[in-house]
Amino acid sequence: MEGGQSPSGRGYRQSDLSYLVSMGISSGFMAVTVIALYVDSQAGSVLYSQPQFLWGICPVILYWLMRIWILTSRKEMMDDPVRFALSDRVSWGVLALVAALVLMAV
């Protein structure tokens, strides 16, 4: 595919990849920041008996998001990201770990 061509079914061009990666990584860090703000908030303290376990979610989600972007930059993920996550064993492990941390926090 040429640099200016648009991948089928997408609203961006191949030449937009560097911008998309920057925006995606920034959005991932912002999402983890929002999780951290929630854990640190009074709502997190009130709703969970052991809210300190929720802090473990931040590095796990950050690892998963950065792994997705590394695979994308290596062109090892040519599929839809949601479809990829549903079939990826590491993604399922991340989901299980996050669920375990939430259950420990309850």
Most confident of 17-21, 28-32, 41-45: 28-32
pLDDT band (50, 70, 90) for residue 4: low
Residues 63-92, mean pLDDT to the nearest whole number: 89
Question: pLDDT (tens digit, 9 = 90+) per residue, 43-71?
Answer: 888 899 999 999 999 999 999 999 999 99
pLDDT band (50, 70, 90) for residue 10: low
Rounded-to-integer distance, Cα 49 and Cα 106, Å: 6
What pLDDT was estimated at residue 1? 47
Rounded-to-integer distance, Cα 33 and Cα 58, Å: 8
